[in-house]
A and B are shown apart, each in its own frame.
Chain A
């Protein structure tokens, strides 16, 4: 523990003891506990209570007095458990007679505090932290806490009930007997996703613990036996919780425990399965699948469990059946027989509604057919069942053919029929169920699910030939006047997805292309910005898909029938909604990517686009569009440089003057922008210029191309510290003069100014990125390991404006105004500091601005120290334990201050 924190800890304990009410910030106690948990984990000796006696005094006082605020008591119970997690700490707590009282429910009940759920949570979590050794287990058993914990399983608070379940699972799994056979890992992946994981790596049952463990197991087993089956038809809560507990246990139990649990639960489980309680279907399926997976892990599946699983897949209520089948598939199908059965169940609603005979002609085998039809006639259950069915179709279509009752293409056909029915056209489903049609017509929920399913089905085997049919339905949807924005969005996604899989345009027809063009033209002018944005995004993605698939250059144009998506996108640059403008800009970048890669000379159209984009960058009031503009130039610059393997020295010459001129403007506008992300993207552009200038130069390593990997135009920039290099330089004069030229070019392009202005920016991501780039710059141009840079390099200078960031940099450099004047004098006298005529002129002209040598600036800014601070970020203030302890102390002082007036109380309201 930090020495400063050690000093403050007793005071903090005192504040917590003194405060008759909760602290003004509800996160304080949790953060304090987080910190102490970290310390306890690091403290293997368990000497925390010994080193900090104030902690024991605090726990003891709170537990005995019971007059503290419930949140403080809850914290104390958790802390008590944390301290008792080591045997030494436990012993110390027991010696102080704290444990019996802290974990006595009766004690808190008598104090009238047990009713408060935060006390119950503290009680459970405290015990949970402590139960890591045999002594704690003995304490738990002797105090007869198993029964009390089981009672909390059905607590009125969801949080308490869930914590009680987790706790019970923890005890039985953590201390479970160790067998020579490996522990069960089947089904582990699924369970790892669960919110709180009970650790399976425990000490196991030893001589010390076996008796206690058996006692807990006996009580729990009895409880499982008694409470698995719901007593009354309406009371499922207890059964539900018990099933959850059993699920947790079976997922991680090793053989002896697992067998015992299965033996205990077998009969009640069968009873629950037979009873067919809808509310219990999912947790029951979890349990059965966990049991099944664990038993198959040993080789032959347990016959009893297999029977249970089969029973679950033959339940009488169709809705339950569908849920069970979906659960089976989502947990990974345990065997081919059950998987095939689940597939048939899940495809049945689709088969019935559309009449597509997905299950073959021998449908008599599907005994649920009639009850399913009946259920489908009720709107609510119809929609719910068909959605579950649709969600699973992509996964079904990818299953081995022998498990499928029909080819994947039939599933696609059925989904398409369903989509047609949803939009009111049942002509393609003559064998369908007309009574059900009215339930799905115009149902947005079904439409969305079906479109998602269709998107997912694009990668199924043997479906490519269906592209025309798929596109026809999707275009119909895009054209439909009643389609809501989300349905349209999903339709576009489906089109893109299918085209990305079937890029061969011979699959499409002229008519379809024409229809697509028409609908896109219509939707790009839609009243709703959401629709316009989805359309514009679609154009961009389509271009992206076709470029990445390396199809003919103008495929997207061909596909869109020469409607010229670029012209539609140019129009969209004027959109009143900034989101649409931003999407249009990034879509343009994707559309033009191919011609950039080819290095073709910009057309007049592209020149117009560039001037419009620069206008947006300088005038648009919304950040989204401006960010997209900078990203556009990043994409242009990087696609151009990545496509050609030109040498660094020649690259600039072959670059389009339009691009290079624009880049300078973007750098200057972008670095002065109000939006932090525009500034970060501008620094990324500057980084590209640095890469290009210095690539291949000794000591320079290209930074991570984070911008290229970004999934979308406004992604968060990941903070990756750049690698610093040590140099073992072997200089040659030619190289240095070359370096000086490049350096000068960068200064002229404004790259250096962008980096300096970023460095003093108030937004940390900006200054961090700038600082990293400047260090990289310095290490290439004038590394600190070299005493002095070559003269040609050292002489390169730049101008610092006398305002804004220039002033801040001057201050950082420690330059007073008189220093600046002196520098200016020297410059005027032609002294050696400056060699640039331009710079001299500026100094004489501007009065305020000042010229400085780049290398000197790089070496004098204290970049390494600044980087340390920036990496720490404001977190150093926010999240340090010291800051937390100070906040508690000052809050305590403010609280107890006699002068505090009620009106000045800081009220926790909203933000």
Chain B
């Protein structure tokens, strides 16, 4: 039976670096190629040596698909294509292709900033890699080769995020990447056809998290910023170049407008222009409200948000600053943090997850005394807030997607094992389908039962109808008998005569023979007659003939009798039958092996 195999090299029972290998219909597809920001060595990249025998990924993989621009999904891409040497097709949506290099550059900077970093990709590698990317449009079926096709669907989450439907013949898999089933301020909700894939591979970040509504979080965020500003404090929001920063900017811009606030909002290092450019360029990927209002006013042209200069950090009075990088581990955000940390009126809002070792991680865990360079200690007096604005489907959203796509099996990835376990139970209970949650390196194998299309000859259908069969109806499947032939890569069900003709073959008769010994102290003709009588009594309704040539015939089965040379009482019966009467032939040989009843005349 055909199988589909799913092996996570990353994102199996964790939220590290997504990298999932799918083997379907003889094709190998890699889904995402993420990086783990928590490591400084080779552990940050997926280890491809587990999946190739000769180290040549290009020979092994048919294509690579990137779901969105977050680094835990695309961060290892230049490593894979320029350093490991994968040279096959890479697919991602247009916005992802445009934004990916910005994020990769952003991370390269962070990496170069660290001491002793080696073996990391360069800017040129990022560019060379992006030049190899084939952009995808939503809902457009792309033929990777003669057998493999892929189709992208809107996933929400971030600008350009896509789910992807992978199809080889009648087998298919859907990979969700990260997705969001509720629209937010700048993006719409994920959507997919009722494509009934064999496997739906879904992220499960918020598999069990009871999340307060997004509106609630937004209100809370605005309230905290406002309070801090009111008491004359400064608010620092460390962000990555693109993504949730834009959502928070829209939020603050609207709020400032409504409340007529005067405190300045700054955005560091010219990122707003870049973001504006991409959001304008890919306006069709944003949500309906933004698209509608775009003509009157571009949501991403901010009136209140100005470019930041480092000298502003020392200005007196309240202000809000968006600064990179998002985990407070280097650069401008760290520099501002150091300046403002000592004042309890100030506030830092961390809008996302921070890896171990970063200042962001430390302050979120509650550290109040930080050892800085040169053994200096920094007292953290400012208020620290964590507000995750990342847009993932929660349990309800995941169930909603399952209802939409109606998969035959589920595979959960990109989540914590404990949470997955809970969701797995829920899915299996509600949908009665198998749900798997492989750890990294483990393979899920799902057997598929593919439907193979077969053409039926008109003659065969006519003959069937002539025998009183019903008219063909696609809604009422039924059994047809005929000869299956394969010609020019297609299957046809035809009558055996037609098959012989089409294939240019001669008809041959196949007969089975068998010898049965029995003890019967009669002459050979008598024994034959006794057999005839016995069969007549046992096989009612069958055509049984005693022929003058010394044989008995039951349908196509021929029975002959001869005596053994050594012992005339030992009779050797020779049975021969055509393959159409195979069942009857077997039955007769078994019957005669038991001997003849004594009462026969």
Q: Across the interface, do B356 and A874 meet the contact criterion of CB distance under 8 Å? A: no
CA distance A677 to B311 in the complex (A): 20
A907/B388 contact (C-beta < 8 A), A25-B355, A26-B14, A624-B123 known: yes
Q: Which of A711, A876, A902 has the most CB of B within 10 A?
A: A876
Contact partner, B124, options A28, A711, A719, A887, Cβ 8 Å = A711
B498 within 8 A of A: no
Task: Say what secondary structure dominates the interface of chain B.
Answer: loop
Q: Across the interface, do A387 and B59 meet the contact criterion of CB distance under 8 Å? A: yes
A784 within 8 A of B: no
Q: Across the interface, do B440 and A621 meet the contact criterion of CB distance under 8 Å? A: no
Q: Across the interface, do A875 and B115 meet the contact criterion of CB distance under 8 Å? A: yes
A715/B124 contact (C-beta < 8 A), A27-B36, A887-B365, A910-B353 known: yes
Task: Give the residues in chain A near B15, CB-CB below 8 Å.
Answer: 26, 908-910
Interface residues of A in 692-733 (CB under 8 A from B): 711-717, 719
Q: Across the interface, do B441 and A159 meet the contact criterion of CB distance under 8 Å? A: yes
Task: Give the residues in chain A near B335, CB-CB below 8 Å.
Answer: 762
A28/B70 contact (C-beta < 8 A), A330-B54, A715-B122, A716-B108 known: no
A534 within 8 A of B: yes
Task: Give the residues in chain B near A160, CB-CB below 8 Å.
Answer: 441
B569, chain A: closest CB distance, angstroms: 48
B333, chain A: closest CB distance, angstroms: 9
Q: Across the interface, do B331 and A763 meet the contact criterion of CB distance under 8 Å? A: yes
Task: Give the residues in chain A near B105, CB-CB below 8 Å.
Answer: 623
Interface residues of B in 354-369 (CB under 8 A from A): 355-359, 361-362, 364-367
Q: Across the interface, do B367 and A869 meet the contact criterion of CB distance under 8 Å? A: no
Residue in chain B with minimal CB distance to A488: B131
Residue in chain A with minimal CB distance to B116: A875
Contact partner, B390, options A21, A157, A883, A910, Cβ 8 Å = A910
Which range contains the number of B residues in contact with the other chain? 35 or more
B466, chain A: closest CB distance, angstroms: 41
Q: Across the interface, do A886 and B367 meet the contact criterion of CB distance under 8 Å? A: yes
B317 within 8 A of A: no
Contact partner, B113, options A195, A379, A763, A897, Cβ 8 Å = A763
CA distance A891 to B357 in the complex (A): 12
Residue in chain A with minimal CB distance to B111: A716
Chain A 24-47, CB-CB to B under 8 Å as 1, else 0, gives 111110110000000000000000
Residue in chain B with minimal CB distance to A244: B53
Q: Across the interface, do B439 and A117 meet the contact criterion of CB distance under 8 Å? A: yes
Contact partner, A904, options B352, B386, B392, Cβ 8 Å = B386
Q: Across the interface, do B366 and A893 meet the contact criterion of CB distance under 8 Å? A: yes
B396 within 8 A of A: no
A869/B373 contact (C-beta < 8 A), A877-B359, A886-B367, A907-B388 known: yes
Q: Across the interface, do B53 and A282 meet the contact criterion of CB distance under 8 Å? A: yes
A853, chain B: closest CB distance, angstroms: 24
B16 within 8 A of A: yes
CA distance A396 to B563 in the complex (A): 74
Interface residues of B in 34-77 (CB under 8 A from A): 36-40, 43, 47, 49-51, 53-55, 59, 70-73
CA distance A622 to B54 in the complex (A): 40
A384/B353 contact (C-beta < 8 A), A26-B14, A27-B36, A762-B331 known: no
Residue in chain A with minimal CB distance to B126: A714
Task: Give the residues in chain B near A581, CB-CB below 8 Å.
Answer: none
Q: Across the interface, do B122 and A716 meet the contact criterion of CB distance under 8 Å? A: yes
Task: Give the residues in chain B near A903, CB-CB below 8 Å.
Answer: 212
A621/B365 contact (C-beta < 8 A), A195-B49, A911-B37 known: no
Chain B 268-284, CB-CB to A under 8 Å as 1, else 0, gives 01100110010000000
A549 within 8 A of B: no
A906/B59 contact (C-beta < 8 A), A283-B53, A878-B358 known: no
B202-210, B257-265, B288-296: which lies at the A interface? B202-210
Q: Across the interface, do B123 and A674 meet the contact criterion of CB distance under 8 Å? A: no
Q: Across the interface, do A890 and B367 meet the contact criterion of CB distance under 8 Å? A: yes
A674/B115 contact (C-beta < 8 A), A908-B353, A911-B70 known: no
B448, chain A: closest CB distance, angstroms: 16
Task: Give the residues in chain B near A676, CB-CB below 8 Å.
Answer: 109, 331
A894 within 8 A of B: yes
A118/B356 contact (C-beta < 8 A), A674-B270, A908-B416 known: no
B309 within 8 A of A: yes
Residue in chain A with minimal CB distance to B268: A674
Q: Across the interface, do A869 and B374 meet the contact criterion of CB distance under 8 Å? A: yes
CA distance A566 to B400 in the complex (A): 58
B50, chain A: closest CB distance, angstroms: 5
Q: Across the interface, do B362 and A890 meet the contact criterion of CB distance under 8 Å? A: yes
Q: Across the interface, do B358 and A894 meet the contact criterion of CB distance under 8 Å? A: no
Contact partner, A621, options B89, B240, B270, B388, Cβ 8 Å = B270
Task: Give the residues in chain B near A883, CB-CB below 8 Å.
Answer: 357, 362, 371
Task: Give the residues in chain A near B212, CB-CB below 8 Å.
Answer: 903
Task: Give the residues in chain A near B178, CB-CB below 8 Å.
Answer: 910
Contact partner, B123, options A193, A330, A715, A909, Cβ 8 Å = A715
B203, chain A: closest CB distance, angstroms: 9
Interface residues of A in 350-383 (CB under 8 A from B): 379-380
Q: Across the interface, do B131 and A909 meet the contact criterion of CB distance under 8 Å? A: no
Task: Give the residues in chain B near A765, CB-CB below 8 Å.
Answer: 112-113
Task: Give the residues in chain A near B359, CB-CB below 8 Å.
Answer: 877
Q: Across the interface, do B131 and A716 meet the contact criterion of CB distance under 8 Å? A: no
B329 within 8 A of A: yes
Q: Across the interface, do A712 and B269 meet the contact criterion of CB distance under 8 Å? A: no
Task: Give the residues in chain A near B131, CB-CB below 8 Å.
Answer: 485-486, 489, 530, 533-534
Task: Give the residues in chain B near A711, CB-CB below 8 Å.
Answer: 122, 124
Q: Across the interface, do B334 and A762 meet the contact criterion of CB distance under 8 Å? A: yes
Residue in chain B with minimal CB distance to A283: B53
B218 within 8 A of A: no
A860 within 8 A of B: no
A194, chain B: closest CB distance, angstroms: 8
CA distance A883 to B240 in the complex (A): 24
Residue in chain A with minimal CB distance to B311: A804
A540, chain B: closest CB distance, angstroms: 12
A606, chain B: closest CB distance, angstroms: 26
Q: Across the interface, do A764 and B37 meet the contact criterion of CB distance under 8 Å? A: no
29 pairs from A and B in contact (CB 8 Å cutoff): A22-B416, A25-B355, A30-B43, A156-B443, A157-B442, A158-B442, A160-B441, A283-B53, A380-B26, A579-B127, A621-B273, A677-B123, A712-B122, A712-B124, A713-B124, A716-B123, A719-B115, A763-B113, A765-B113, A804-B310, A874-B334, A876-B371, A878-B357, A886-B367, A887-B362, A906-B365, A910-B15, A911-B326, A911-B353
Question: Which A-B residue pairs are the 3 nearest by beta carbons?
Answer: A714-B123, A159-B441, A27-B38
Known: A621-B270, A676-B331, A765-B112. 20 other contacts (CB 8 A): A21-B418, A25-B356, A28-B356, A116-B439, A156-B443, A158-B442, A323-B54, A327-B54, A448-B87, A711-B124, A807-B314, A869-B373, A873-B373, A876-B371, A878-B114, A883-B371, A890-B366, A906-B364, A907-B353, A908-B15
Footprint of B on A, CB under 8 Å?
A: 21-22, 24-28, 30-31, 116-118, 156-160, 162, 193, 195, 282-283, 323, 326-327, 330, 379-380, 384, 387-388, 444-445, 448, 485-486, 489, 530, 533-534, 579, 621-624, 674-677, 711-717, 719, 762-765, 803-804, 807, 865, 868-879, 882-884, 886-887, 890-891, 893-894, 897, 902-904, 906-911
